[in-house]
Chain A
Amino acid sequence: MKKIILLLLTLALALSCTACALHGKQRYTATLPDYFDTVTTVVAYDTSEKEFQQHLALFKSRMNDYHRLYDIYHTYEGITNLKTINDTAATAPVATDTRIISLLSYGKEIYALSGGKTNICFGAVLALWHKARQTQPAQLPAMRALQNAAAHTDINDLIIKDNTVFFKDSQLQLDVGAIAKGYAAKKISAWAEAELWSSAIINIGGNVCAFGTKADDGKTKWTIEIEHPDIASSKSGIETLYATDVSVVTSGDYQRFMTIGDKRYCHIINPETLMPSEYVSSVTIICKDAALADALSTTLFNMPIADGKKLIETMENAEALWVDKTYHKTFSSGFERYIQK
């Protein structure tokens, strides 16, 4: 009898140990090239490859929804997206999805916060730059054409009423590139945390959202590396950050650009000069709110470091790191706690 009890106890112990192994989550990664005209990477912890693939399928489907809604270049059957709005909203108010209405309303808030440095109604000017980048060989848009386009960028001509959008200026065009990825990242990662994963880090083309912890162990911080703006050098990152439950966004002149002669023209356009912004090489923002982080990174990229510093110090829970054209780093007052492991 004793022997049987001993046998059962030993078996129970052995099985409980193997059960531990079953519960341990493993790290899985995915790289997705299909959304927001950029690359998205996901690192998440799941119990099996099968479970991860199931979660990833749900994640991709949600990414695709936002991608289609916020696309200004393509129309999709059965969806009134930003391209439809750009094409038709000057004729009559267009009824659209609440996810577009909330994004555009947020765009208005950001316009006020940034003093016009980040303007979702800047589409007419940005379209000229987009075309210039696509043309081979690359050529700068004519200043007169830029100035003519700039006359049609007044955010007050964007009328949002209930679930409809209307353009008071027939040549107004929306370009949400400065805020849409961050806004989508915020919404999608909040959903993913509630529905899919306890620990994950999602990077939508430079918009990082991290929740839970590395290894899903409840204590290890995520490691986020900021690239060196001199991408042709073999230097590794310019700074390494350690954080949990935050969003990190970098706007850099090395991310998307065109080269004419020896000069690099970046994709972020200064609304005052109508030319590519020249103040810094990159700006990184850390804050809880991914949408705000994205908007602030563009805003600070479009102003001198001293002005940006003044703005960021008035905001609670937002920190910034500037890398200037000579790769010298400037930190906001609370940034340093993120560079310690």
Chain B
Amino acid sequence: MKKYDFIIIAAVLAIAGILFFFLYGTPAHNGKFVTVKIDGAITQTLPLAENRTLEIETAQGNNTLEIKDGYARIIAADCPDKICCHHAPVRRNGESIICLPHRLIISISSTEDNEIDARI
């Protein structure tokens, strides 16, 4: 083995490393997020770790989302059935609160795990 060989090997490994990096990419964030979807489109993604109260306006009506102490829940809404307000606070990956009359979906997503695949 000569010095020249080491340069070739190092160069090849570097190219492979760069390719690998591009193909897998790097996760930009870690942790859990609250995703707000209206009519199928994501309107907001908020960290579950930051407390806040948010008024969500949809074409069909309004819902108030509260993110507090690692939980997300709907604390008020002007929909007819109020099923979204009765729903338990969500915190785990894949959990969601749905307000069908307002076509609103609040869901928890995570970059870390995807333990639950379906919830019924």
- A interface list, Cβ under 8 A from B: 3, 6-7, 10-11, 14-15, 17-18, 21-22, 27, 31-34, 37-39, 41, 43, 133-134, 136, 201, 203, 206, 208, 210, 214, 222-228, 231-237, 240, 248-250, 256-258, 284
**Which residue of chain B is the closest to A21 with respect to CB atoms?**
B23
Known: A214-B117, A223-B115, A224-B116. 14 other contacts (CB 8 A): A10-B12, A22-B23, A31-B105, A33-B39, A39-B98, A43-B114, A134-B80, A203-B119, A208-B118, A222-B118, A225-B118, A226-B120, A231-B86, A250-B120
B58-91 interface code vs A (CB 8 A; 1 in, 0 out): 0000000000000100000000110100111100
Contacts of B89 in A (CB 8 A): 234
Q: Are A235 and B88 in contact (CB under 8 A)?
A: yes
Docked Cα-Cα span, A208 to B88, in Å, equals 22
What are 17 A-B contacts with C-beta separation under 8 Å? A3-B8, A6-B5, A6-B8, A11-B12, A18-B20, A31-B96, A33-B39, A33-B98, A43-B114, A201-B118, A225-B116, A226-B119, A227-B120, A231-B86, A234-B89, A237-B116, A249-B120
Q: Could you tell me the distance in whole angstroms from the C-beta of A137 to the nearest C-beta in chain B?
A: 10
Flag if B105 contacts A39 (CB, 8 Å). yes
| Prevailing SS type, chain B contact patch | mixed
**In the complex, which residue of chain A has the Cβ closest to the Cβ of B73?**
A234
Interface size on B, residues (CB 8 A): 37
Q: Do the beta carbons of B16 and A18 come within 8 Å of each other?
A: yes
Q: How far is the CA of A18 from the CA of B17 in the complex (A)?
A: 9
Q: Are A10 and B9 in contact (CB under 8 A)?
A: yes
Q: Which interface residue of B24, B88, B92, B107 has the most chain A CB atoms within 10 A?
A: B88
Taking CB atoms, residues of chain B closer than 8 Å to A15 are: 16
Contacts of A27 in B (CB 8 A): 114
State the B residues within 8 Å of A (CB). Answer: 4-5, 8-9, 12-13, 15-16, 19-20, 23-24, 37, 39-40, 71, 80-81, 83, 86-89, 92, 96, 98, 100, 103, 105, 107, 114-120
A224 close to B23 (CB less than 8 A): no
Which residue on A lies nearest to B87, using beta carbons?
A: A231
Tell me whether B39 and A224 are in contact (CB under 8 A): no
Inter-subunit contact A208/B120 (CB<8 Å): yes
Is the beta-carbon distance between A39 and B100 smaller than 8 angstroms?
yes
Which single member of B13, B92, B118 contacts A41 (CB below 8 Å)? B118
Given known contacts A27-B114, A208-B118, A258-B81, A17 and B88 CB-to-CB distance under 8 angstroms? no
Cβ of A14: which chain B residues have Cβ within 8 Å of it? 12-13, 15-16, 19
B117 contacts across to A, CB distance below 8 A: 43, 201, 210, 214, 222-224
Enumerate chain B residues within 8 angstroms of A237, measured Cβ to Cβ: 116, 119
